[in-house]
């Protein structure tokens, strides 16, 4: 009886958590819908008097709005990609791993499995990165999201504003969403500003539209400042070919920690997110190269350079044996363990 009650409570809490997780998205949708009404009806159709100006404002606004809404939709509903089956422990390996009580033997089991896989990153102590919740060896740049309860390929962060985990499958859409959000706010602020001044000076009659126009400028400027900072930060990450998690916790490779391990140069770094075909860079369609399980690395290119062959190999010492936080929350907007 007591066990059934606990299970029911647990199920109810999970259901409430799912519902509450959509609240930030609902807030954004309501703000966007109000901004659409305020701009199209209260500004363009009521306040703006010139027919030519109305047409130009409405055409440009809707062009930006379509891409803004399209990228937001893709960021929300593009599911995070999980590691494929070959990274999961087989039933036999899982049973052997769980029944083994000696840590050193468990470590060797994972090492033997990792030899068959394209994995080059390690934990802070040099061990194979293993998720004991998903029972799989983590591919490079993969992390376990505590909110989504799964391992996500090339995980960047979990964003409550899209109620989704941002990773390999939708990072391009998330960046485009930030870019079009900045453009959306900037366009509204610049076109509304002249009418804000006219209302302020009393050149226009004080009607209901006045309050929508004044508040529209305030909201656009407020969101613009926060979004341009976030977008600028992610542009910096793309230019260095880093995820948010990698920026806060340096990835460790088989030869040691390397903060620029995936940095291929700015052009190739951008292509790693947006693809080689530039005509798809502004459109929210999948164009990121690869399958999210392995990535080109700077260290491999350097290892083929004879000038770097005499560098000392990384060794396990007391400092390197400390456990790095494998999955660390990085921004207020992110949740990842």
Structure tokens at 209: 């539209």
Residue 15 known to be catalytic? no
| Contact (CB, 8 A) for 252 and 123 | yes
Cβ count within 10 A of residue 313:
7
The 3-class secondary structure across 205-264, one letter per residue, is: CCCHHHHHHHHHHHHHHHHHHHHHHHHHHHHHHHHHCCCHHHHHCCCEECCEECCCCCCC
Identify which of 146, 127, 126, 128 has the alpha carbon closest to the alpha carbon of residue 137.
128
Among candidate residues 44, 142, 151, 159, the one labeled active-site is 159
Write the CB contacts of 173 (distance below 8 Å, at least 6 apart in sequence). 71, 74, 75, 78, 284
Q: What is the token pair recorded at 13?
A: 């809490």
Asked if 212 and 188 count as a contact pair (C-beta separation under 8 A), the reply is: no
Catalytic residue ranges: 159
């Amino acid at each position: 009886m007591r066990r059934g009650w606990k299970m029911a409570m647990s199920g109810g809490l999970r259901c409430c958590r799912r519902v509450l997780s959509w609240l930030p998205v609902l807030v954004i949708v309501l703000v966007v819908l109000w901004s659409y009404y305020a701009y199209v009806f209260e500004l363009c159709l009521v306040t703006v008097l010139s027919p030519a100006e109305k047409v130009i404002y409405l055409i440009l606004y809707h062009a930006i709005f379509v891409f803004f809404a399209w990228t937001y939709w893709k960021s929300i509903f593009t599911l995070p990609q999980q590691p494929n089956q070959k990274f999961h422990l087989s039933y036999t390996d899982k049973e052997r791993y769980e029944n083994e009580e000696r840590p050193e033997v468990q470590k060797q089991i994972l090492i033997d499995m990792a030899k068959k896989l394209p994995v080059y990153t390690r934990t802070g102590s040099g061990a194979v990165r293993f998720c004991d919740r998903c029972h799989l060896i983590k591919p490079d740049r993969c992390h376990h999201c505590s909110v989504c309860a799964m391992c996500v390929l090339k995980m960047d962060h979990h964003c409550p504003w899209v109620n989704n985990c941002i990773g390999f499958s939708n990072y391009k859409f998330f960046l485009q969403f930030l870019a079009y959000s900045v453009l959306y706010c900037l366009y509204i602020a610049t076109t509304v500003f002249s009418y804000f001044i006219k209302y302020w000076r009393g050149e226009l009659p004080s009607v209901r539209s006045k309050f929508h126009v004044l508040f529209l400028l305030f909201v656009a400027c407020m969101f613009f400042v926060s979004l341009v900072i976030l977008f600028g930060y992610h542009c910096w990450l793309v230019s260095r070919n880093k995820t948010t998690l990698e920026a806060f916790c340096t990835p460790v490779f088989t030869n040691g920690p390397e903060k620029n391990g995936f940095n291929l140069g700015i052009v190739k770094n951008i292509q790693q997110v947006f693809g080689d075909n530039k005509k798809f860079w502004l459109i929210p369609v999948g164009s990121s190269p690869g399958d999210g399980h392995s990535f080109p690395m700077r260290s491999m290119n350097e290892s083929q350079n004879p000038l770097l062959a005499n560098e000392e190999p990384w060794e396990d010492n007391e400092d390197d044996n400390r456990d790095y936080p494998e999955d660390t929350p990085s921004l207020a907007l992110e949740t990842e363990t």
